[in-house]
Amino acid sequence: MKKRSKYRPKGVLINPLAYVLESLKPVKDHDGYLIDLKIKNHAAMESLTKGLAMRADMDILISMVNVCEALYRLGFGEDYGDVVQQGLDALHEVGSRGAKTGRFILKAHEMSHLNLVMELHDAQMEVITVKDMEKAVDLVNKEFDQRKMRRIAA
């Protein structure tokens, strides 16, 4: 069997200056992206509050809370650590119950915690740059690959 090479070439930027300038733009300047993201997140939260959430809706909310936590760890919303932790706990509880029963039903305190995390996420999206968003997504992906995240039993 032939040994595989460890060499992996890096991607080449066609226009490095445009890449740097784009990464310095705030996310709020990308109106279409930000509006689509908010609609997707709020629609998933609405279906969860109505008791109609499916696994895809839960995946959207899990991604939103994970990015919110990563942005918090990067220094955006430093005063809201308890909000992030309570939101993570609430999402884990409803996800665990839903994995067992097949229906994702919120309790009152879980709904309030998730609404606060949603507000924090929306506020974070108003102040971060594209580069900050890339860092947060990279942090989430790295922790997922290293299995450091608290998993919801399927």
The least confident of 17-21, 42-46, 131-135 is 17-21
Please report, for residues 34, 36, 74, 146, the alpha-carbon distance to residue 45 in angstroms, rounded to integers and kept in the order given.
16, 14, 25, 28
Q: What's the pLDDT score for residue 135? A: 94
What per-residue confidence (pLDDT) applies to 23? 82
Assigned domain for 108 exists: yes
Token pair recorded at residue 52: 């109609």
Instruction: Please provide the average confidence, as pLDDT, over all residues in the chain.
Output: 90
pLDDT at 46: 95
What is the pLDDT confidence band of residue 18, given thresholds at 50, 70 and 90?
confident
35 occurs within a structural domain: no
Q: Which of 10-24, 33-47, 75-89, 136-150 has the lowest mean pLDDT?
A: 10-24
**Is there a domain that residue 20 lies in?**
no
Residue 36 lies in a domain: no
- Residue 26 is assigned to a structural domain of this protein: no
21: in domain = no
Average of per-residue pLDDT across 129-154: 88
pLDDT for 147: 86
- Name the domain count of the chain: 1
Domain coverage including residue 67: 53-154
1: confidence class by pLDDT, cuts 50, 70, 90: low
pTM for the whole thing?
0.85
Ramachandran region of residue 41, left (φ > 0), alpha (ψ -120 to 50) or beta?
Answer: alpha
31 inside domain: no
In a domain, 14, yes or no: no
